Amino acid sequence: MSYIDEINAFDRRMHRAPLSPIAQLLWYKLMQFSNRLHWPEDFQIDNKRLMAEINVSALHTLIAARQELVEDGLLTFTPGVRGRPSIYQLLSVEMLEGAHPELSTENDTEDFLYEIKDDITGYFGYNEALGKELQQTVEAIWKEFLPGEKPSEADAREVFNYIYTQDRQEDGTVIMSFPRERKEMLAYAFEIARKKRAINWKYIGGIYQNWARANLHTMQDIDDHEEERYQRRGVS
The pLDDT tens digits of the residues spanning 158-193 come to 999 899 998 877 777 778 999 999 999 999 999 999
Position 104 scores a pLDDT of 35
The pLDDT tens digits of the residues spanning 207-225 come to 888 888 788 889 999 999 8
Q: Cα(132)–Cα(137) distance, rounded to whole angstroms?
A: 9
Count of alpha carbons within 13 Å of 62, Cβ hemisphere only? 19
DSSP, residue by residue, 134-185: HHHHHHHHHHHHSTT----HHHHHHHHHHH-EEEE-TTS-EEEE--HHHHHH
Position 134 scores a pLDDT of 96
Helix axes 128-145, 153-163, angle to 10 degrees: 100
Position 173 scores a pLDDT of 79
The pLDDT tens digits of the residues spanning 58-78 come to 999 999 999 999 988 899 988
pLDDT at 124 over 90: no
Q: Which of 190, 144, 138 shows the shortest CA–CA distance to 164?
A: 138
CATH 1.10.10.10 in the chain, residue ranges: 3-95
Q: Of the segments 83-97, 164-178, 191-205, which one has the largest average pLDDT value?
A: 191-205
Name which of 82-91, 102-111, 146-155 the model is least confident about.
102-111
pLDDT at 99 over 60: no
Q: Cα(199)–Cα(61) distance, rounded to whole angstroms?
A: 23
The CATH code of domain 3-95 reads 1.10.10.10
Q: Cα(34)–Cα(204) distance, rounded to whole angstroms?
A: 22
